[in-house]
Structure 1
């Protein structure tokens, strides 16, 4: 198991995340995340720290095994154990699935890290709609 502390403030100054507006109806995507790299050990702590408290403790993260750099089966993030699962999902290769027992499941579209800002902005807006809340670079 890898233990990580809070994200380093100089590592990646801006978390590139947009969340879909809250809705009582099921939605295909709950947000869009544009990580700076495919290194889960570097990217995941910042993402999890920025999620709404209402989402609860994220206990499991599933990523596409083909896209992400190899990572251990679990890691300690901000004083919590998070299981890392890898899946090959041909129907949804660019998503991250977050599970919080007793709270629910959230699916985030992943914009590839090497995407330019000019390309990423419209992708993120289109994926979650114009009323998205969150932070974007």
Structure 2
């Protein structure tokens, strides 16, 4: 398993184990959403991910930035998407989490949250950027 896969799995497991997040989205945290017609809102999906070298003296590291997308349909109102985004922030930002060997999570933080209406006028969308620094064994 790559460090990117391990990080995404950790984020998903953390969200699904968090009572505040589950109270808002149930178990609807997806790598890819269900097909049209089977989808229930609100939900959270994984978006694009970036990785960069984060080596330091005597440490091999990788910086990962993962996008989480919150989707809610409440006639375009942003409040439910913002509540979900805030619950996700509280679950992840500087949380004391662990990755499986050979990885060590040095940092996890919510770098930004942006909420806006989608063009359909019904869907609220929040984009959450989650940043991590992961140390790897060589």
User: Relative CO higher for 1 or 2, CA cutoff 8 Å, sep ≥ 6?
Assistant: 1
Task: Please state which structure has a larger fraction of its residues in helix.
Answer: 2
The normalised TM-score by structure 2 is 0.29
